[in-house]
């Protein structure tokens, strides 16, 4: 008993180096950035570092804080906590996603499009052939059987450019995926999705998506003026908004699951309440929405306050959508990590979760690099191709905030995921640099999650 009391004495304990404090009125929240341990203190005396004074905490609460990892012995090695988490999560990289770039051109020229940030003078848009589609699915089936999760679904993403520029390829990819699932070459629970700007949607394609349970991600920026401001036709004048809304209605009428992909343009951010009203009341979203923070673009400038303001919009939307039962993907990923106390390794599939196939059958790790063909080195026609053995994945496998020294002092290191490594590489020239667009969002998300937890106590 005496030993136990000694172990809990204020002289033998300290707060973990991973503990960060958040203040709201007279309440102090202590949050462990790696294991998500959380404790609240009301009207507590704090030291110069903002942490509660241990001598002011009663024995029972000290014991609870030790169990949560918030309090540790003086000799505890904090760096070991990070090293253990790195090892644990880096072993869980499952190759479960295939991106088929059915066409790497686009019929729109959106002013903010990140695909135009790193163009290549040698790039000529092309459509994926039936043979490449079939070889891609065969390769994915083989690799995911070796490196995929033993029970989680595989995902086949029909992507671009604009995939509907290749309508035959879309239909063939769907039919072939079903064929591979029926033969056992892909698991029966494989999911099919397509991301499209919606302007080339036809009744026949909508029927195909409905018949084959294809989920659709549809791009729209808000009401008519907002969508048509930056989403422009590459050839001639069309009302993009009208076509997208017509596609949305046609898909919904057929029972297709439709999620909206919404770019947070400066105009939408400035009048976000009106934007929320449009999505909820006018469009009547039901199947989910994903807000996208703008990528850095040399020809599409934003204010220095944009990232903070966009982050505030996303948190505000999530708060509303939670009450309405509407799924918002980006914030929900952070919320699930926080609630389940399962730190996020990465916010995308580049670190070992996906392969991307260009229209000519060259295999890469990220669709953002398809035009310059950077980090594309394998081929679907190579029956022995393995992204691990060839080095395609390389050190990208460790592109996580858990391996980035600049992220170690951030309280959101465990829920952030590191943003977009391609954006960091394209903008700064080094994938190991921070994707600073997402820092305000991760921090605001975390603070909201902490205080919403406190409000429910």
- Return the domain boundaries, the chain: 2-76, 89-378
Tokens of 238: 């069309």
User: For residue 1, what pLDDT band results from cuts at 50, 70 and 90?
Assistant: very low
Four-CA torsion 115, 118, 121, 127, nearest 10 degrees: -30
Are the beta carbons of 107 and 199 closer than 8 angstroms? Answer: yes
Mean pLDDT, rounded, for 267-289: 96
Residue 10 has pLDDT above 80, yes or no: no
Closest CA to 218 of 199, 245, 202, 196: 196
Residue 405 has pLDDT above 90, yes or no: yes
Q: From residue 44, give the alpha-carbon distance in Å to each of 21, 57, 236, 254.
A: 12, 8, 66, 58
Q: For 326-377, what is each residue's pLDDT tens digit?
A: 999 999 999 999 999 999 999 999 999 999 999 999 999 999 888 888 899 9
> Who has greater pLDDT, 121 or 50?
50
Mean pLDDT, rounded, for 188-207: 98
Mean pLDDT, rounded, for 6-23: 89
Task: List, in sequence order, the alpha helices (H) in 43-77.
Answer: 59-67
At 2 the pLDDT is 46
Q: What angle do CA 74, 76, 77 make, to 5 degrees?
A: 135
Pairing state between β 376-379 and 362-364: antiparallel
Looking at the structure, give the CATH architecture of the domain made up of residues 89-378.
Answer: Alpha-Beta Barrel (3.20)
| CA pair distance 293, 81, nearest whole angstrom | 32
Q: For 119-159, what is each residue's pLDDT tens digit?
A: 556 668 899 999 999 999 999 999 999 999 999 999 999 99
Tokens of 426: 């394209």
Tokens of 186: 């892909």
Q: For 208-254, what is each residue's pLDDT tens digit?
A: 999 999 999 999 999 999 999 999 999 888 999 999 999 999 999 99
Four-CA torsion 341, 343, 348, 351, nearest 10 degrees: -140
Q: Phi/psi class of residue 382: alpha, beta or left (left: φ > 0; alpha: ψ in -120 to 50)?
A: beta
The residue count for the chain = 457
Give all strands (DSSP E) within 239-282, no chain letters.
258-263
Tokens of 134: 């079939």
Question: Average per-residue pLDDT in the chain?
Answer: 94
| CA pair distance 112, 109, nearest whole angstrom | 9
Tokens of 167: 């309508």
Residue 117 has pLDDT above 70, yes or no: no
pTM: predicted TM-score of the whole model, two decimal places? 0.94
Q: Which residues, other chains included, contact 248 with Cβ-Cβ below 8 Å and sequence gap of 6+? A: 198, 218, 220, 258, 260, 283
Tokens of 347: 């916010």
At 147 the pLDDT is 96
Percent of the chain predicted with pLDDT > 70: 97
**Residue for token pair 């994707």:** 435
Residue 299 has pLDDT above 90, yes or no: no
> Who has greater pLDDT, 7 or 101?
101
User: Which of 3-12, 13-22, 184-193, 257-266 has the least mean pLDDT?
Assistant: 3-12
Closest CA to 153 of 192, 100, 180: 192
Helix, strand or coil for residue 228? helix
């Amino acid at each position: 008993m005496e030993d136990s009391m000694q172990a809990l004495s204020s002289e033998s304990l300290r707060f973990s180096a991973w503990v960060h404090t958040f203040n709201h009125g007279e309440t102090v929240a202590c949050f462990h950035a790696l294991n998500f341990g959380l404790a609240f203190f009301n009207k507590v005396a704090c030291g110069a570092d903002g942490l509660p004074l241990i001598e002011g905490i009663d024995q029972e609460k000290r014991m609870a804080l030790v169990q949560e990892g918030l309090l540790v012995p003086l000799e505890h090695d904090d760096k070991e906590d990070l090293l253990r988490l790195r090892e644990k999560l880096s072993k869980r990289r499952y190759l479960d996603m295939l991106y088929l770039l059915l066409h790497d051109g686009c019929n729109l020229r959106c002013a903010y499009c990140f695909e135009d940030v790193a163009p290549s003078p040698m790039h000529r848009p092309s459509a994926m052939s039936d043979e490449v589609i079939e070889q891609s699915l065969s390769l994915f089936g083989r690799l995911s059987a070796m490196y995929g999760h033993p029970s989680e679904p595989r995902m086949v993403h029909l992507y671009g450019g604009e995939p509907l520029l290749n309508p035959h390829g879309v239909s063939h990819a769907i039919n072939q995926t079903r064929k591979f699932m029926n033969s056992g070459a892909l698991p029966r629970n494989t999911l099919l999705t397509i991301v499209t700007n919606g302007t080339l949607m036809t009744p026949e394609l909508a029927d195909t998506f409905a018949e084959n349970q294809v989920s659709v991600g549809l791009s729209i920026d808000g009401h008519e003026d907002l969508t048509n401001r930056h989403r422009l036709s590459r050839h001639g004048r069309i009302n993009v908004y009208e076509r997208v809304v017509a596609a949305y209605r046609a898909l919904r009428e057929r029972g297709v699951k439709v999620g909206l992909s919404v770019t947070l343009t400066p105009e939408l951010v400035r009048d976000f309440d009106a934007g929320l009203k449009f999505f909820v009341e006018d469009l009547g979203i039901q199947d989910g929405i994903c807000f996208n923070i703008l990528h850095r673009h040399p020809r599409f400038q934003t204010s220095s306050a944009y990232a903070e303001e966009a982050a505030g919009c996303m948190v505000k939307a999530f708060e509303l959508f939670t009450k309405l039962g509407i799924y918002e993907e980006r914030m929900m990923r952070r919320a699930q990590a926080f609630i389940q106390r399962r730190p996020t390794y990465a916010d995308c599939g580049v670190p070992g979760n996906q392969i991307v196939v260009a229209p000519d059958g060259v295999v890469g790790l990220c669709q953002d690099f398809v035009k310059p063909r950077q980090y594309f080195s394998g081929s679907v026609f190579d029956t022995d191709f393995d992204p691990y053995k060839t080095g395609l994945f390389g050190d990208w496998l460790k592109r996580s905030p858990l391996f980035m020294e600049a992220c170690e002092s951030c309280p959101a290191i465990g829920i952030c995921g590191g943003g977009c490594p391609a954006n960091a590489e394209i903008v700064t020239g080094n994938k190991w640099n921070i994707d600073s667009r997402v820092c305000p969002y991760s921090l605001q998300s975390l603070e909201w999650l902490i205080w919403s937890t406190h409000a429910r106590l």
